[in-house]
Structure 1
Amino acid sequence: MTHTANDYYVPHGSYWPIVAAIAMFITVIGAALWFNGELNGRMVLFIGLGLIAFMMFGWFGTVIRENLKGVYNEQVDRSFRQGMMWFTFSEVMFFAAFFGALFYARVLSVPWLLGMDSGFTTHEVLWQGFSEAWPTNGPGDVGGEFEPMGPWGIPALNTLLLLSSGVTITLSHWALKAGDRGKSVLWLIATVLLGLTFLGFQAYEYIHAYTEMDLTLASGIYGSTFFMLTGFHGMHVTIGTIMLIVIALRAAKGHFTADDHFAFEGVAWYWHFVDVVWLGLFIFVYVL
């Protein structure tokens, strides 16, 4: 069936949304159980993550097949772009909440506990004798002593890797728009390798933090904000890398043309967003 510019494709009934809802519910429950020390929490979490992977593979596969059949038109393409913009905005708000928590703890809560700039003596009531400054694990040395993570070394190297990946995916996009599929695929592969290298270094950093620096998720407010921000960013890099692998395979198969490649652009938008978030992380979590 041929669709004109004024038609709008209405998809058939799909079970993928309910699968997505169930998968995310199981994942959140598993994470909550695991963080609270329940033995089965990790298993429940991995089941939920597996269902999410299954859902994404199936749902995106359906969209890809529909696109290749030619059932989408310019109006549907605009809808996809608007949806990706709103999704990116929701991701901005997601990370804004965690950056806000870091700001509140570091700039407001800790000075208040130290009796600074508040005009009140609440620090004497809340925790008398607290004298530490950031980075801190809070009053009572929750989680024991730890060594804070410095900005140079692996964090600086990972910054260079992500900034380089932003360049390589842009070069891939330019090559695609110029009709050079080979160069586009090669630059995509380079972007994937940079993303995988970033994840490898971050995994090493986490192992080093836990085994040699005594810096864990239980290391008070510094440990929790550090791992929540860097951990969720690492999850987004993982998802983005998987998306890059998929579009690299699709590009190699000739699914994209110079004028029709929104899937590529959507992933590129997502990857640039991940780069920008990391710059914020590097400055506010590692450097300052």
Structure 2
Amino acid sequence: MLLNINRNLFQNFPYHLVTISPWPILVSFSLLSLTLGAVLSMHGYGDFTFLLGLALTALGMLLWFRDIILEATYLGCHTTQVQKGLTLGVILFIVSEVFAFFSVFWAFFHSSLSPSIEIGGVWPPQGIEALSAFGIPLLNTFLLLSSGSTITYGHHALIKGDRKKAIIGGLLTIVLAIIFTALQYVEYFNASFTITDSVFGTTFYASTGLHGIHVIIGTIFIAVGFFRIINYHLTNSHHIGYEASILYWHFVDVVWLFLFIAVYYWGGN
């Protein structure tokens, strides 16, 4: 630790030379275990592997976040040049997520615009009772768009140095995100079809489920920034992690609008 501090004090460049960390390789193997466990669980076994992967992934993320917060807040590693690199990395990450959702929407429109004879030549397929877009999906749309407004409110408050309003904005966003996730669980629980019910069920749960995972990740992302605001880690000019979570959350908002219009409203009628 002392060597790391000394190196940052006397280096002649603004870049951050990352020290050796065990967390990337741990999280990699944890995600592998999580993925394999999830696939095995879908076939009736592998629950232990799934739970182990989930626990190890959460632990790896927690320890990794701890080290990054230490570097940014106490060691002064996140210089202006480093922040520019982190911002570019977040933008490229979001671009990769755009293409991930693009592939899911491609599968949905490929199946819905020209329904095959195997599903009766109609969409939704015969025997499938689609969910109404004007129930929980409409309410979730209101909640998610509201959360986009509250996080923007909190962000502008942080920039102006109003810590109280920044905390309120972050807290409201987290609450709205949790309610959104809970309502989506209720929707899934009461749905009359599953992911195995033809291509309709597959594309529905693949698209909304992928988005739901992103909502959970975004909630954790914002929660980390929220607790850092509470602990006086962030300032009006140095909050790159919080800005990254806000960019990610707005991306999640936009994707949901496309999902609501395409999958719930158009695809369910």
TM-score (norm 2): 0.91
For 1:34-73, what aligned pairs fall within 5 Å after superposition?
34-35=41-42, 37-40=43-46, 42-69=47-74, 70-73=76-79
Provide, for residues 127-153 of structure 1, a one-character-per-residue CA deviation record: whole Å limited to 9, x for no partner. 6xx63400117xxxxxxx431111011
Select 1:92's aligned residue among 76, 94, 98: 98
Paired residues in the alignment total: 258
1:131 aligns with 2:113: no
2 CA distance for matches of 1:94 and 1:62?
29
Cα distance in 2 for partners of 1:2, 1:101 equals: 53
Question: Residue in 2 aligned with 1:150?
Answer: 132
Instruction: Write the distance in 1 (CA, Å) between the matches of 2:12 and 2:244.
Output: 22
Could you tell me the percent identity over the aligned residues?
37
**1:259-281 Cα deviation digits (max 9, x unpaired):** 11101100001110110110111
Partner of 2:85: 79
Mark the CA change 1:207 to 1:59 in structure 2 (over 3 Å): closer, same or farther: same
Q: In the alignment, is the contact (CA less than 8 A) between 1:30 and 1:48 conserved in 2?
A: yes
Could you tell me how far apart the structure 1 residues matched to 2:153 and 2:136 are?
25
Other structure's SS at 2:9 match: coil
Describe the shift of the 1:79–1:5 C-alpha distance in structure 2 as closer, same or farther (beyond 3 A): farther
Q: Which residue of 1 aligns with 2:14?
A: 7
Shift of 1:106: 1.3
In the alignment, the residues of structure 2 paired with residue 48 and residue 100 of structure 1 have an alpha-carbon distance, to the nearest angstrom, of 30
CA gap of 1:257–1:5, structure 2 versus 1, over 3 A, is farther
- How far has the Cα of 1:94 moved from its partner? 1.0
Contact preservation (8 Å) 1:20, 1:52? yes
Shift of 1:229: 0.9
Q: Are residues 1:258 and 2:240 paired?
A: no
Q: Which has the larger radius of gyration?
A: 1
Q: CA deviation at 1:253?
A: 1.2
Instruction: Establish whether residue 24 from structure 1 lines up as the match of residue 24 from structure 2.
Output: no
What is the aligned partner in structure 2 of residue 121 from structure 1? none
Where does structure 1 lack aligned partners over 5 or more consecutive residues? 115-126, 138-144
Contact 1:247/1:263 (<8 A) preserved: yes
Q: 1:4 Cα shift?
A: 7.2
- Paired letter, 1:200: A
TM-score for both structures, normalised by structure 1: 0.85
State the 1:183 CA deviation.
Answer: 0.6
- For 1:122, the equivalent position in structure 2 comes to none
Please name the residue that 1:117 is paired with: none
Q: Give a deviation string over 1:73-122, Cα, whole Å, max 9, x none.
A: 111111111111111111111111111111111124x1xx34xxxxxxxx
Structure 1 range deviating more: 1-10 or 91-100: 1-10
Unaligned runs of 5+ in 2: 1-7
User: Within 1, Cα distance between the matches of 2:214 and 2:120?
Assistant: 36
SS at match of 1:2: helix
Q: Provide Cα deviations, 1:55-78, integer angstroms capped at 9, x if missing partner.
A: 111111101001112122111111
Letter in 2 for 1:50: A
Alignment partner, residue 171 of structure 1: 153
Does residue 103 in structure 1 map to residue 109 in structure 2?
yes
Give, as a single letter, the amino acid of the residue that structure 2 aligns with 1:104. Answer: H
Kept in 2, the 8 Å contact 1:5–1:73? The answer is no
Secondary structure of 1:150's aligned partner: coil
Alignment of 1:186-197 (within 5 A): 186-197=168-179
Superposed structure 1 runs of 4+ greater than 4 Å apart: none
